[in-house]
């Protein structure tokens, strides 16, 4: 059965483009162009996931998000032109599951949608994954490169696990902090950079030109194995 995605944005051209791409990927798409219509459509159609712009007429996206979350645990992915991390954190605190900063790529949004639906469906995850010479055993919390076990700290393993489960998805420093340290972490966000660098030294052939963990400048990090690493 097709999953239904509610796309909410007052930019009709953007909605039409997203609708086209999402339908090509097998989703059923319904649209709303303001906050009031979004709530009405959500309650009537009961979609499986909501892609929600924050800058909406009639009722702003933050309030739409909050009201949806009062009634449902449906995954909500925010679309935002805001770049300040404090503003993004505020949206997540309102109940959104994820956010994508405009402009964004079709591939990134689709990856985040798949991740959101997978979490809700609670599908069993693989116990082990392999990309090229890299193997991660989630059950044993063991990582090997070219059949040689490498010792990772708990933080390094949790960082790798978070990213490798959603290949291609860009994670901001804030998202990685929440995933690894929890929402109460009060340390420096740049701490993540240090852990990423240490992780690269252990799993990459060339840490300065990584094949697995890529930097997305201005956005964060992603696990995106090079073609010869697949």
pLDDT digits (tens, 9 = 90+) for 73-101: 889 998 877 655 665 666 666 678 887 87
**Does the 4-121 domain belong in CATH 3.40.50.300?**
no
Give the model confidence (pLDDT) of 122-156 as tens digits: 655 678 899 999 999 988 999 999 999 999 999 99
Locate the DSSP E strands across the chain: 4-8, 28-32, 49-53, 76-80, 98-101, 128-131, 134-137, 142-145, 148-150, 213-216, 220-223
Segments of the chain assigned to CATH 3.40.50.2300: 4-121
pLDDT at residue 92 in the model: 67
Q: How far is CA 160 from CA 137, 138, 154, 174, 221, in A?
A: 11, 10, 10, 15, 11
Segments of the chain assigned to CATH 1.10.10.10: 128-229
- Closest to 192 in 3D by CA, of 164, 217, 159: 159
**Does the 128-229 domain belong in CATH 3.30.450.20?**
no
Contact 45, 39 (CB under 8 A): no
Q: What is the pTM of this model?
A: 0.55
Give the model confidence (pLDDT) of 28-54 as tens digits: 999 999 999 999 999 888 899 999 998
pLDDT at residue 40 in the model: 93
């Amino acid at each position: 059965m097709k999953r239904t995605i509610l796309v909410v944005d007052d930019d009709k051209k953007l909605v039409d483009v997203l609708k086209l791409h999402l339908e090509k990927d097998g989703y059923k798409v319904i649209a709303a162009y303001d906050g009031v219509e979004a709530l009405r459509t959500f309650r009537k159609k009961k979609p499986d996931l909501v892609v929600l712009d924050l800058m909406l007429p009639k009722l702003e996206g933050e309030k739409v998000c909050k009201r949806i979350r009062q009634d449902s645990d449906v995954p909500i992915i925010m679309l935002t032109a805001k770049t300040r991390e404090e503003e993004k954190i505020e949206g997540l605190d309102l109940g959104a599951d994820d956010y994508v900063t405009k402009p964004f790529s079709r591939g990134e949004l689709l990856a985040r949608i798949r991740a959101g639906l997978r979490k809700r469906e609670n599908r069993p995850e693989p116990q082990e994954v392999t990309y090229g010479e890299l193997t991660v055993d989630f059950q044993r919390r063991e990582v090997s490169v070219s059949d040689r076990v490498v010792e990772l700290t708990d933080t390094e393993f949790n960082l790798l696990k978070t990213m490798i489960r959603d290949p291609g998805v860009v994670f901001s420093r804030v998202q990685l902090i929440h995933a690894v340290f929890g929402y109460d972490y009060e340390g420096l966000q740049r701490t993540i950079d240090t852990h990423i660098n240490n992780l690269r030294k252990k799993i990459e052939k060339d840490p300065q030109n990584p094949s697995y963990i890529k930097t997305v400048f201005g956005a964060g990090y992603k696990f995106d194995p090079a073609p010869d690493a697949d």
